[in-house]
Amino acid sequence: MIKINIAVFISGRGSNLQSIIDSTVEEDGSVNISLVISNRQDAYGLQRASKAGIEYCVIKPADFSSSQEYEVEMLSELQKRDIELVALAGFMRLLSPYFLAEFPGKVMNIHPSLLPSFRGLDAQQQALDYGVKVSGCTVHFVDEGMDTGPIILQKAVSVYDDDNKESLAARILKEEHKIYPAAIKLYARGKLQLAGRKVIKKNQ
Protein backbone atom coordinates (compact mmCIF):
# COMPACT_ATOMS: atom_id res chain seq x y z
CA MET A 1 0.00 0.00 0.00
CA ILE A 2 1.18 3.49 -0.85
CA LYS A 3 2.08 5.53 2.21
CA ILE A 4 1.39 9.27 2.27
CA ASN A 5 3.36 11.81 4.28
CA ILE A 6 1.34 14.04 6.59
CA ALA A 7 2.14 16.94 8.87
CA VAL A 8 0.26 17.69 12.08
CA PHE A 9 -0.03 21.28 13.31
CA ILE A 10 -0.48 21.79 17.07
CA SER A 11 -0.53 24.55 19.66
CA GLY A 12 -1.10 22.70 22.94
CA ARG A 13 -1.29 19.31 24.59
CA GLY A 14 -1.63 17.31 21.39
CA SER A 15 -4.11 14.64 22.45
CA ASN A 16 -5.44 14.34 18.91
CA LEU A 17 -1.85 14.15 17.68
CA GLN A 18 -1.39 11.19 20.04
CA SER A 19 -4.47 9.47 18.65
CA ILE A 20 -3.08 9.84 15.13
CA ILE A 21 0.32 8.53 16.26
CA ASP A 22 -1.30 5.52 17.95
CA SER A 23 -3.40 4.81 14.89
CA THR A 24 -0.42 4.84 12.53
CA VAL A 25 1.39 2.37 14.79
CA GLU A 26 -1.57 -0.01 15.06
CA GLU A 27 -2.85 -0.03 11.50
CA ASP A 28 -1.72 -0.79 7.96
CA GLY A 29 0.94 1.86 7.42
CA SER A 30 -0.93 4.01 4.91
CA VAL A 31 0.03 7.15 6.84
CA ASN A 32 3.47 8.45 7.79
CA ILE A 33 3.61 11.40 10.19
CA SER A 34 6.63 13.14 8.70
CA LEU A 35 6.50 16.36 10.71
CA VAL A 36 4.82 18.09 13.62
CA ILE A 37 4.74 21.89 13.56
CA SER A 38 3.85 24.03 16.56
CA ASN A 39 3.49 27.79 16.87
CA ARG A 40 4.36 27.49 20.58
CA GLN A 41 7.61 26.31 22.12
CA ASP A 42 5.84 25.06 25.26
CA ALA A 43 3.25 22.89 23.51
CA TYR A 44 3.13 19.53 25.30
CA GLY A 45 2.41 17.84 21.98
CA LEU A 46 6.06 18.36 21.04
CA GLN A 47 7.00 15.92 23.79
CA ARG A 48 4.58 13.40 22.30
CA ALA A 49 6.23 13.82 18.90
CA SER A 50 9.70 13.44 20.38
CA LYS A 51 8.72 10.29 22.28
CA ALA A 52 7.37 8.78 19.06
CA GLY A 53 10.53 9.67 17.14
CA ILE A 54 8.72 12.14 14.89
CA GLU A 55 10.55 15.19 13.59
CA TYR A 56 9.13 18.47 14.84
CA CYS A 57 9.81 22.16 14.61
CA VAL A 58 8.58 25.32 16.30
CA ILE A 59 7.71 28.19 14.00
CA LYS A 60 6.54 31.23 15.94
CA PRO A 61 4.59 34.01 14.20
CA ALA A 62 6.36 36.61 16.35
CA ASP A 63 9.62 35.76 14.59
CA PHE A 64 8.31 37.01 11.25
CA SER A 65 7.39 40.46 10.00
CA SER A 66 4.13 39.31 8.42
CA SER A 67 1.69 36.43 8.47
CA GLN A 68 2.60 35.54 4.91
CA GLU A 69 6.31 35.26 5.75
CA TYR A 70 5.34 33.00 8.63
CA GLU A 71 3.29 30.78 6.34
CA VAL A 72 6.00 30.76 3.69
CA GLU A 73 8.34 29.25 6.30
CA MET A 74 5.79 26.57 7.19
CA LEU A 75 5.20 25.77 3.53
CA SER A 76 8.94 25.44 3.00
CA GLU A 77 9.16 22.83 5.75
CA LEU A 78 6.22 20.93 4.25
CA GLN A 79 7.69 20.95 0.76
CA LYS A 80 11.02 19.59 1.99
CA ARG A 81 9.20 16.48 3.19
CA ASP A 82 6.73 15.99 0.34
CA ILE A 83 3.77 16.48 2.66
CA GLU A 84 0.46 15.47 1.04
CA LEU A 85 -1.95 16.27 3.88
CA VAL A 86 -1.94 18.75 6.76
CA ALA A 87 -3.92 17.79 9.87
CA LEU A 88 -4.75 20.63 12.25
CA ALA A 89 -4.95 19.26 15.79
CA GLY A 90 -5.63 22.07 18.21
CA PHE A 91 -3.71 24.56 16.07
CA MET A 92 -4.88 27.94 17.33
CA ARG A 93 -4.33 29.99 14.20
CA LEU A 94 -6.36 30.47 11.05
CA LEU A 95 -4.55 29.61 7.83
CA SER A 96 -4.76 32.25 5.13
CA PRO A 97 -6.09 31.83 1.57
CA TYR A 98 -2.44 32.00 0.48
CA PHE A 99 -1.55 28.88 2.47
CA LEU A 100 -4.71 27.01 1.51
CA ALA A 101 -4.08 27.69 -2.19
CA GLU A 102 -0.85 25.72 -1.85
CA PHE A 103 -2.72 22.74 -0.35
CA PRO A 104 -6.17 22.78 -1.97
CA GLY A 105 -8.39 20.13 -0.43
CA LYS A 106 -5.43 18.86 1.57
CA VAL A 107 -5.94 20.47 4.99
CA MET A 108 -8.15 18.83 7.63
CA ASN A 109 -9.38 20.02 11.00
CA ILE A 110 -11.22 18.50 13.97
CA HIS A 111 -13.85 20.60 15.76
CA PRO A 112 -15.76 19.78 18.99
CA SER A 113 -19.29 20.33 17.71
CA LEU A 114 -21.64 19.03 15.06
CA LEU A 115 -20.92 21.64 12.43
CA PRO A 116 -22.31 23.91 11.15
CA SER A 117 -23.52 24.54 14.72
CA PHE A 118 -21.23 26.24 17.25
CA ARG A 119 -18.27 27.27 15.16
CA GLY A 120 -15.20 28.92 16.62
CA LEU A 121 -13.88 28.89 20.16
CA ASP A 122 -15.52 27.33 23.23
CA ALA A 123 -17.89 25.19 21.19
CA GLN A 124 -18.79 22.96 24.15
CA GLN A 125 -19.93 25.92 26.24
CA GLN A 126 -21.82 27.30 23.25
CA ALA A 127 -23.71 23.99 23.02
CA LEU A 128 -24.54 24.01 26.74
CA ASP A 129 -25.68 27.63 26.65
CA TYR A 130 -27.98 26.87 23.72
CA GLY A 131 -29.49 23.90 25.51
CA VAL A 132 -28.95 21.26 22.85
CA LYS A 133 -29.52 17.60 23.73
CA VAL A 134 -26.95 16.31 21.26
CA SER A 135 -23.51 17.67 20.45
CA GLY A 136 -20.45 15.93 19.08
CA CYS A 137 -17.44 16.44 16.83
CA THR A 138 -16.68 17.00 13.16
CA VAL A 139 -13.73 16.36 10.88
CA HIS A 140 -13.80 18.69 7.91
CA PHE A 141 -11.67 20.02 5.12
CA VAL A 142 -10.46 23.54 5.78
CA ASP A 143 -11.59 26.41 3.61
CA GLU A 144 -11.20 30.17 3.99
CA GLY A 145 -13.92 30.46 6.64
CA MET A 146 -13.86 29.51 10.31
CA ASP A 147 -15.03 25.88 10.62
CA THR A 148 -17.01 26.17 7.38
CA GLY A 149 -15.30 23.60 5.15
CA PRO A 150 -16.86 20.41 3.70
CA ILE A 151 -17.67 17.81 6.34
CA ILE A 152 -15.87 14.45 6.23
CA LEU A 153 -17.02 12.60 9.37
CA GLN A 154 -19.16 13.43 12.39
CA LYS A 155 -19.97 11.68 15.65
CA ALA A 156 -22.87 12.58 17.93
CA VAL A 157 -22.51 12.78 21.71
CA SER A 158 -25.44 13.11 24.12
CA VAL A 159 -25.62 16.17 26.33
CA TYR A 160 -26.78 15.42 29.89
CA ASP A 161 -28.68 17.73 32.20
CA ASP A 162 -25.83 17.80 34.72
CA ASP A 163 -23.07 18.37 32.14
CA ASN A 164 -20.62 21.21 32.46
CA LYS A 165 -18.12 22.31 29.84
CA GLU A 166 -15.42 19.97 31.14
CA SER A 167 -17.56 16.82 31.31
CA LEU A 168 -19.02 17.38 27.86
CA ALA A 169 -15.63 18.21 26.38
CA ALA A 170 -14.14 15.00 27.82
CA ARG A 171 -16.80 12.79 26.20
CA ILE A 172 -16.52 14.61 22.89
CA LEU A 173 -12.73 14.27 22.96
CA LYS A 174 -12.99 10.48 23.20
CA GLU A 175 -14.90 10.48 19.92
CA GLU A 176 -12.47 12.96 18.33
CA HIS A 177 -9.72 10.46 18.98
CA LYS A 178 -11.63 7.88 16.93
CA ILE A 179 -12.92 9.83 13.96
CA TYR A 180 -9.86 11.97 13.21
CA PRO A 181 -7.50 9.05 12.53
CA ALA A 182 -10.33 7.36 10.61
CA ALA A 183 -10.77 10.38 8.35
CA ILE A 184 -7.04 10.62 7.72
CA LYS A 185 -6.89 6.94 6.75
CA LEU A 186 -9.80 7.37 4.34
CA TYR A 187 -7.92 10.21 2.68
CA ALA A 188 -4.67 8.24 2.55
CA ARG A 189 -6.43 5.32 0.87
CA GLY A 190 -8.03 7.54 -1.76
CA LYS A 191 -11.53 6.93 -0.39
CA LEU A 192 -12.67 10.56 -0.21
CA GLN A 193 -14.09 12.48 -3.14
CA LEU A 194 -14.95 16.16 -2.86
CA ALA A 195 -18.04 17.15 -4.86
CA GLY A 196 -18.91 20.77 -4.17
CA ARG A 197 -19.66 20.93 -0.46
CA LYS A 198 -20.16 17.19 -0.17
CA VAL A 199 -17.46 14.71 0.75
CA ILE A 200 -18.32 11.31 -0.70
CA LYS A 201 -16.82 8.11 0.67
CA LYS A 202 -15.87 5.92 -2.27
CA ASN A 203 -16.34 2.16 -2.06
CA GLN A 204 -13.55 1.29 -4.46
Active site residues: 111
75 beta partners: none
User: What strands lie across the sheet with 56-58, from one edge to the other?
Assistant: 56-58, 31-38, 4-10, 85-88, 107-111, 134-141, 151-158
The one-letter code for the residue type at 166 is E
Please, what sign has the CA dihedral across residues 120, 93, 181, 50? negative
Per the CB < 8 A criterion, the answer to whether 89 and 111 are in contact is no
Please tell me the distance from the alpha carbon of residue 7 to that of residue 51, in angstroms, as a whole number.
Answer: 16
